[in-house]
Structure 1
């Protein structure tokens, strides 16, 4: 075989793959006849929602299917050799050396009781790549290569001492340690802030070019795929809906499902919201002036300033977004607004009430005016209660309301959020993520509040479900005149839903104004960096 032909030969070939999971006593197929190939130096993205089969397909490639999963038929060829029938012992010889995995969650993927150096060095030790001294030197080299400062220090630290982005870099160091021919990146940045996400994806791209590595990118984010992949494979229900060169698929999608994904992706969609910032009420639902929040550190002898002089106003019936990365102070600000904590100084007025002055019964009754919707709809709903009980509970906490009136109110609000009555007898675990978030919104609305604070309320949802929830919020705002305080790290979503925005960085407000002004004329380098990091803004083709 000539060198040119060898370079053109796929590193990975998936041929008519069928995978099934055992449920009770029977196996049910979840991946149906999937086929695609990945060549050296190429990025192929598997794109789809939860349950589409993309992660299952990737797990099958590296032989890490769940215990109840099995490969029914089809071939998985690595450099021309079918490894689909290999034993785990055989697969151990190529994991890390020929094929490696960058997992989704850096927190659960690293051993909390082993140092970073031990964990990076483990794969070198398993494959006999040098003595102790040589492995230590290679570990330091790898940590430096993935952009970690002070690599000798990082090698001695434990995972909890590193940020999420730093831990993800450690996983990449492990994945590239033996310079494999194929890297599977399974949602490698979904848990990261947008600027950290961009840096991690840039790093993977740099390494791909340097080593001519083939990359199988698993993602639900079509914006990320648009930026980073040469080819797309769109999955739904375990079947390929569309595949082809990225630019071709995105410019002329043939599948209705792909067209819907494109329409729902906030980073690829054009903003359609007409701002109400200057056309709504002249009254302000929320006024925050010079907000400061300090927290004690070092046994209370010192303080850390989480929020430093933040000010903004939200007109009634509009949406104000607070954006920033982890640690920016956005959630602390939200907790101050809903009176979950008292600020160190500053003034907060919600619907005419001075929040900082409220005490006792007045503070309790204030909860009727403002409600909070959390990020994780599963963690915020009591798993032992029925959906009826979950939505009814706030009504039981405020005054005496007849049972018939409570029942009517629960049914009415359920209908408003677009859920069938049959949902009421079910438990949260029986619902999808989008249905659970609708329940969380229903529970927040059952007291007829004037203000909703939404803390990363759509960040845990698939793109189409996210679009449905954003559409629901817009509809509810139009019908009920609600005011939203929308907390998010995702500027693409903010561009879709918000009228005005405050950008926070290290507790300080570095930009504010209408969404249009901030996006078109950002006033700070940090805001420009956030906007530049929105996925979907790069050219489709990779160099």
Structure 2
């Protein structure tokens, strides 16, 4: 059995071996296709995690990260199987255990914090009852004591008014709150190992930092080992003692995080680091290097003046003001970013810019047209000039349509365009977004996430718009695919003189692609200026908090 040399023991001159909490040795996993042929997806993976240690498992989608984590906790899909190797928990090999036997250690010895809290929580059960379920299954505590323990756990993870929150349902909580509920359930029995599978990837940077701080506090208090499954090298840099890099189900390299990030030996790791804005962006901003603005004197493609957006709040209640007095302009051919946490008013502003809702006050002038002065017909024609690219292309693309039909559809909604010209336009755009013509007959489900987002961009460009509004358009992508999409957007901007309004919560991406930025909080614009001005000399405390929370800013040290 492999042991781990503890640093304190070595320093004292009496080296001792500590049994790892988790040790994988030559783990191999395969999935069966519909013909029951098994395809190997994990190849001889070996790693270990000591008590109190944090290990990051990084790589792109399809690299095998989540499959490795699922194998550890015994939650492989029905067509998955472990082909070989061992999974030792505190020295005991659990690789061959039955599901019934594994259920005795899930929650008690190993806990999982999944990526999507919305789909992980039962919508028809209160959040308190879901946390209590772990205690009911694994302890003999009386009901009153279980419920008291639930309140203590919710308070421990930073949920205010736990008595009220425990009686609420998942839809009544924010994303950050829901993730805290899952953490409360995961730590209820003080497990020896927590697996966090992209547990913060969908959260705003400030909420992400609070969640990661919480996990770190719990690790320090109880000696819990943590396996971080993530594609975010910034998170690994900040939080992990060691990092394991996976590609195609094979380990490319592993070691202390600082050494892996500072002196990568694998070409794949070097590419991941080069593509990660949270790792590569910080030095350029610190040095004052920013994207050069286009020539001064350009006219504005977008002007927003004192924008107000209100929504009815119910009978006898004052209207809810989601956007309050936002003002900014976007010179033609430049990129303006709007950043802030969920609920800050970013997406509401984007929808107003796209003409999906009429402003309650103020003015939006795009390509010289004041949206408030347009009737229904004028607004429809206006949408030829402005197109919106959404966050999730899988839900924004019609799954029943072929890629060719998806891209050409906007042409059918306006003036009649002959089929030959439509086909030529579709093929031209597919080439512009670097996709092969062989995809034209396929459906969205047959494409990767990055390919789907390229299709969404091609669809947005088919009407030759002057302005693209990109609402979290790269936030769901791995760093390598994200880097490719950002490079594509910059290339298209140069070629077509496009103007972008880029909605995002990721400030690392902002400093890579944007020229100017507005920072929003609770519907108000708290800061606005060039990216270099705002990042190097933030004036508002909220902006400073956002910048401080960017993963990778803490930097792992030797």
Cα distance between partner residues in 2 of 1:313 and 1:541: 41
Match of 1:19 among 29, 47, 53: 29
Match of 1:152 in 2: 163
Which segments of 5 or more consecutive residues in structure 1 lack a partner in the other structure? none
Which segments of 5 or more consecutive residues in structure 2 lack a partner in the other structure? 10-14
Cα distance between partner residues in 2 of 1:319 and 1:74: 50
Cα distance between partner residues in 1 of 2:207 and 2:317: 32
Match of 1:86 in 2: 97
Cα distance between partner residues in 1 of 2:71 and 2:529: 48
* Greater Cα shift, 351-360 or 268-277: 268-277
Match of 1:208 among 219, 224, 228: 219
Q: Retained in 1: the 8 A contact 2:290–2:511?
A: no
Match of 1:296 in 2: 312
Match of 2:507 in 1: 491
Superposed CA RMSD in Å reads 1.7
Query: Deviations along 1:299-356, whole A, 9 cap, x unmatched?
Result: 4743100000000011000000011111111111111111111000101110111111
Cα distance between partner residues in 1 of 2:130 and 2:520: 35
- Asked if 1:380 is matched to 2:390, the reply is no
Match of 2:247 in 1: 236
Mapping 1:9-48, distance limit 5 Å: 9-24=19-34, 25-48=36-59
Match of 1:417 in 2: 433
Query: Deviations along 1:106-165, whole A, 9 cap, x unmatched?
Result: 111111222222111111111124111221221111111111111222222222222111
Cα distance between partner residues in 1 of 2:66 and 2:557: 24
Structure 1 residues 329 and 231, CA gap change in structure 2 (3 angstroms): same
- Asked if 1:62 is matched to 2:82, the reply is no
Structure 1 residues 296 and 432, CA gap change in structure 2 (3 angstroms): same
Mapping 1:396-435, distance limit 5 Å: 396-435=412-451
- Asked if 1:250 is matched to 2:237, the reply is no
Mapping 1:299-378, distance limit 5 Å: 299=315, 301-378=317-394
Match of 1:104 among 115, 121, 145: 115
Query: Deviations along 1:453-476, whole A, 9 cap, x unmatched?
Result: 111111111110000000000001
Q: Secondary structure at the match of 1:464?
A: helix
Cα distance between partner residues in 1 of 2:428 and 2:132: 59
Cα distance between partner residues in 2 of 1:514 and 1:202: 31
Shift of 1:289: 0.3
Shift of 1:8: 2.4
Match of 1:538 in 2: 554
Cα distance between partner residues in 1 of 2:417 and 2:169: 53
Normalising to structure 2: TM-score of the pair?
0.94
Match of 2:237 in 1: 226
Normalising to structure 1: TM-score of the pair?
0.97
Cα distance between partner residues in 2 of 1:27 and 1:278: 54
- Asked if 1:282 is matched to 2:298, the reply is yes
Shift of 1:33: 0.4
- Asked if 1:175 is matched to 2:191, the reply is no
Cα distance between partner residues in 1 of 2:342 and 2:372: 25
Give the paired residue count.
542
- Asked if 1:76 is matched to 2:87, the reply is yes
Q: Secondary structure at the match of 1:425?
A: coil
Structure 1 residues 329 and 340, CA gap change in structure 2 (3 angstroms): same
Cα distance between partner residues in 1 of 2:496 and 2:260: 40
Q: Retained in 1: the 8 A contact 2:290–2:532?
A: no
- Asked if 1:464 is matched to 2:475, the reply is no
Structure 1 residues 117 and 364, CA gap change in structure 2 (3 angstroms): closer
Cα distance between partner residues in 1 of 2:192 and 2:56: 17
Shift of 1:404: 1.6
Cα distance between partner residues in 2 of 1:362 and 1:179: 61
Q: Retained in 1: the 8 A contact 2:20–2:51?
A: yes
Q: Secondary structure at the match of 1:325?
A: coil
Match of 1:195 among 203, 206, 212: 206
Q: Retained in 1: the 8 A contact 2:235–2:551?
A: yes
Shift of 1:296: 0.1
Q: Retained in 2: the 8 A contact 1:53–1:238?
A: yes
Structure 1 residues 513 and 95, CA gap change in structure 2 (3 angstroms): same
Q: Retained in 1: the 8 A contact 2:294–2:333?
A: no
